Amino acid sequence: MSGDSNTRTGYNRRVMPPSALFLLAVVLIAAILLIATRIRADLVALLTLVALALSGVVSPAQAFAGFGSTAVITILAIFIISEAMHQTGLTLMLGQRLLRFSGGGEKRAILFTALAGALLSLFMNNLAAAGVLLPAVISLSRHTRTAPSRLLMPLAFGTILGGMATLLTTANIVVSGTLRESGLEPFNLLSFLPIGIPIIVAGTAYLTLAGRRLLPERYPAGQSARAVRLRAELEALYGIERTLCEVRVQPGSALAGMSLRQGEWAARLGLTVVGLARDGHMMVSPSPDEIIQEGDVVLAQGMPQENVLTDYGLRLQAQPEMAHHIANGVAVLGEIVLSPRTSTAGKTLRELHFRETYGLNVLALWRRNKPVVEGISEMPLEPGDALLVQGSAARFSLLRDQRDFLLLEEDPDAILRPRKARLAAVITLVTLVMAAMGWLPVSVATLAGAALLMLTRCVSMDDGYRAIEWKAIFLIAGMWPLGTALVSTGLADIAADALLRVTHGMPALALAAILLLTAGLLSQVIGGQVAVPILLAPVAVAIGHGTGADPRGLAMAVALGSSLGFLTPVGHPVNTLVMGPGGYTSRDFLRVGGLLLVILVPIILAGLHLFWKL
């Protein structure tokens, strides 16, 4: 019986060739460098690729195959789609929905971010789900004044958790295909749900409670960070929140029924109107032709005198609540400075008709290293003055062609193409449906969607290229040859043989635990969505046949273990996706993901015992 079992499982002792020894050394060194974080993760990946190519372990074509892999193409396309969503305002809409659910608090923001990722990944590829939510979560971080690093890892981990409860995850599809090729019943859409639901519940609870304390608070360098930091920095620098006020238009007010232009709020009241709340809706940077109505609450900048307000039928709100609405993506903040060739020096903003000419509100002026917020419309401008201005992104673009002003900073979160929002929504929705239903491969569907968004000018090609996080591209492409090398050097077969020898005669649940942990460990280094299930799923089936354990249950252990890539940036593609925008290091994933892994492994094993009788 023992000899028959050995024959059926096919294990025998193999001698490790020099190429396999070299590959093992490369994998260990790469793992140490990723954990130590002394060298950037994308550079470690590039060095890994170079080492494998120079040594001849893989051919040049195999070394560079990752740059054309479906994972890389999908991530590249998702960055472009996300930028289109951002520029058309879809990001802002999703972010506002999350903000409403979260109530503005960090704990609830983390909870609903993780749950949104988990829910969406039940119906579509994890990477696509994370890509859709990424810009919305960055918008949420801005509105809640929360560092993006506090939300983007919960988003990534949430999508991974949700993917473990559905067949639509890449690793689960690969394992199911192996079962079919082995003559066994493949998994269906609901096979993963009994174990997946407890995984989602436990994982989101951990991220919201204990995991939240381990998340870093970091504002990364680059465009994503500027979208979060810039507004807070400008507001703090100019101190405008101290001069923002809210004025309610009382019944019978002399200014009710008049437009902002006709009411001359600046001349009569010394106020610059920056927002208007009506029937629960907020208009930021309202048009000068907007008619003021009784009951409106006006958000303005200035220091009004209460007796003057009373004369015009206005009442100062004691507890302002709208200060954080000073910019919302459609209307943004920016900083401009007088150019050396300006002809405006010595003239006041009123004389220049600045608001009428540019459609921008001047909120404050910076002169001689300090902000000025009162009486600025009557102050002659001087060379070197900087102005904090508020208005639409389209209006800011007019300043780029002006010789009198230089645009120093504008909010990179600005909505540049609001009229394309519906078109972008339709294209993005069709793209996601085609990917989720399997009508097209995810990589083809997302790339086609990205191309269509650029063709219809929902995003320009230049902006699309700039939106790509090349760090993520090089990280995945650089690590890709490891999977090929594991097979070509025979190291994968040697590992499988060793695993078969170790597991012989063990109880079924112990076999499942070893397969689960092996898949989880390998996924941290080579990514678990393709290479790991391809390597271990046949081993799980062979062990099941050889020991009498349910091979489908053991294959389930491999599938779930392949998605336990919480410890490194390359453990799962969504980790790579959020690494740049979140400013994460490899150590961040290890710290937050380590305890999550400890929590999930017993839950998975309990589920395998209860539902698969292992």
The residue among 22 and 409 whose pLDDT is bigger is 22
Residues with Cβ within 8 Å of 133's Cβ and at least 6 positions away in sequence, in order, are: 94, 113, 116, 117, 120, 155, 159
Q: Is residue 38 part of a domain?
A: yes
Helices in 381-420 by DSSP H: which ranges? Answer: 393-399
Angle between helices 152-163 and 106-121 (to 10 degrees): 30
Question: Are residue 28 and residue 111 in the same domain, yes or no?
Answer: yes
Q: How many CB atoms lie within 10 A of CB 569?
A: 32
Q: Which residue has the tokens 């609901």?
A: 190
97 vs 90: CA distance, rounded Å: 11
- Report which listed range, 157-161, 251-255, 481-485, is most confident: 157-161
Domain residues for the domain of 392 are 331-410
Q: At what angle do helices 442-455 and 421-436 cross, to 10 degrees?
A: 170
Q: Which of 8-22, 175-189, 574-588 has the lowest mean pLDDT?
A: 8-22
- Asked if 26 and 136 sit in the same domain, the reply is yes
Torsion of CA 250, 251, 256, 257, to 10 degrees: 160
Q: Are residues 52 and 188 in the same domain?
A: yes
pLDDT of residue 220: 59
Same domain, 399 and 543: no
Residues 485, 588, single domain; the answer is: yes
Residue 405 domain-assigned (yes or no): yes
For residue 135, pLDDT over 90 is answered with no
Residue 22 above 80 pLDDT?
yes
Q: H-type helices in 296-384, by residue range?
A: 306-311, 349-352, 354-358
How many other CB atoms are there within 10 angstroms of residue 183's CB atom?
7
Specify the 3-state DSSP secondary structure of 135. helix
Q: How confident is the model at residue 6 (pLDDT cuts 50, 70, 90)?
A: very low
Distances, alpha carbon 43 to alpha carbons 158, 415, 584, in Å: 27, 34, 15
Is residue 229 very low, low, confident or very high in pLDDT (cuts 50, 70, 90)?
very low
560 touches 164 (CB < 8 A): yes
333-362 mean pLDDT: 77
Q: How many other β-carbons are positioned within 10 Å of the β-carbon of residue 98? A: 23
pLDDT at 137 > cutoff 70: yes
Residue 302 lies in a domain: no
Neighbour order of strands in the sheet with 314-316: 281-284, 272-278, 297-301, 244-249, 314-316
Vertex 399 angle, CA 397 and 401, to 5°:
95
Instruction: Please give the backbone phi and psi of residue 272, each rounded to the nearest 5 degrees, phi first.
Output: -105, 115
- With 50 as the cut, is the pLDDT of residue 11 above it? no
Spatial CA neighbour of 500 closest among 455, 442, 540, 531? 540
Residue 33 sits in the same domain as residue 179: yes
Instruction: Please say whether the beta carbons of 388 and 364 come within 8 A.
Output: yes
Last residue of a domain, one of 410, 429, 450: 410
Rounded CA-CA distance 325/471 in Å is 33
Asked, for residue 435, whether it belongs to a domain, the answer is: no
Phi, then psi, of 380 in degrees rounded to 5: -60, 135
At 338, phi and psi to the nearest 5?
Answer: -65, 130
- Tell me the one-letter amino acid at 204: T
Domain annotation covers residue 612:
no
What is the amino acid identity at position 232? A
Q: What stretch of H or E contains 134? A: helix 126-143
Domain assignment of residue 515, yes or no = yes
Q: Where are the alpha helices (DSSP H) in 437-507?
A: 442-455, 461-467, 470-479, 481-488, 491-503
Same domain, 401 and 475: no
Closest by alpha carbon to 276, among 267, 286, 268, 266?
A: 286
Rounded-to-integer distance, Cα 215 and Cα 234, Å: 26
Contact predicate 506/91, CB 8 Å: no
DSSP classification of residue 568: S
Please indicate, yes or no, whether residues 403 and 479 belong to a single structural domain of this protein.
Answer: no
What is the domain count for the chain? 2
Contact (CB, 8 A) for 277 and 321: no
365 and 482 part of one domain: no
**Tens digit of each residue's pLDDT (9 = 90 or more) over 295-319:** 888 888 777 788 888 888 888 877 6
Q: Is residue 60 part of a domain?
A: yes
Are 507 and 400 members of one domain? no
CATH number of the domain residue 399 falls in: 3.30.70.1450
Q: Are residues 360 and 476 in the same domain?
A: no
Which 3 state secondary structure label does DSSP give 341?
coil
Lowest mean pLDDT among 177-181, 241-245, 396-400, 511-515: 396-400
Residue 564 maps to a domain: yes
| Pairwise CA distance, residues 575 & 202, whole Å | 19
d(CA 212, CA 158): 13
| Residue 217 one-letter amino acid | E
Mean pLDDT of the chain: 78
The residue among 393, 410, 427 that closes a domain is: 410
The pTM of this model reads: 0.58
Q: Are 216 and 71 members of one domain? A: yes
Q: Among residues 395, 410, 425, which one ends one of the domains?
A: 410
